[in-house]
Structure 1
Amino acid sequence: MIAACAVATGPALASDRHDHDRARAALQAGEIQPLATVLQRVAADHPGQVLEVELERDGGRWIYEIKLLQAGGGLLKLEVDAASGQVLKARARRQEGR
């Protein structure tokens, strides 16, 4: 899996760079909270290991999509308002076979 990420081609890397630039600009403009701040706030109510984080623009609002691995193997996907840190949606999936 890591090797596949490491051999990404130019267009994929350009897209990643663009995404990072957009996120940085939104942070500097005060449109979003820093990811570390949001993760700390989320951890208080939704403990788990962070597996993946995406920052997306949805209907004029910045949303952090956070996937967490919880104790017992459950997967929790959160949609968090990137400006306020408020959890908008939480969807839990249990590990198969449990």
Structure 2
Amino acid sequence: MKLRNALVLLSILPLLVSGTLVPVSADGDNWRDLHQEVKEGHLVGIDEVMDWLEARYDGQILEVELEQDDGLIEYEVEMIGPQGQVVEFEFDATSGELLSVEGVNIEAMKKSP
């Protein structure tokens, strides 16, 4: 488990450095508010979302975004599947509920129960 967390951190580190993890318009401090919400436990942590995805889908995470859109705070996670397909998952960041899945050949990425 520690190795997995280290690998996840290494895979997300470029996103943190590039600013992709929390993209917000440069004219506001919205990203600070979202970061604080996660730190205070008002939002589901990305580790819970990633655990959920790993349990149900085969693939590697390409990109993670935490966005606020029309009052709803969402995680958008892009994964690449074993056949090279890219799939985007959207989660409600307050509940962790899966809101939508978009992409090609999604069924091929699903793990057997």
Larger strand share, 1 or 2: 1
Alignment of 1:38 with 2:49, yes or no, is: yes
* Distance in structure 1 (CA, Å) of the matches to 2:89 and 2:65: 11
Q: Which residue in the other structure is 2:93 paired with?
A: 82
The structure number with the bigger radius of gyration is 1
Using the aligned pairs only, state the percent identity. 27
* Distance in structure 2 (CA, Å) of the matches to 1:47 and 1:83: 25
TM-score by length of 1: 0.68
**How do 1:41-52 and structure 2 match up within 5 A?**
41-52=52-63
- Give RMSD over aligned pairs: 2.6
Q: Which runs of 5+ in 1 are unaligned?
A: 7-14
Number of positions where the alignment pairs a residue of Structure 1 with one of Structure 2: 82
TM-score by length of 2: 0.60
CA distance change for structure 1 residues 47 and 73 in 2, over 3 Å: closer, same or farther? same
Alignment of 1:59 with 2:57, yes or no, is: no
Deviation at 1:23, TM superposition (A): 3.0
Q: Which runs of 5+ in 2 are unaligned?
A: 1-13, 19-25, 106-113
Indicate conservation of the 8 Å contact 1:41/1:85, yes or no: no
Please tell me the residue identity of whatever aligns with 1:86.
E
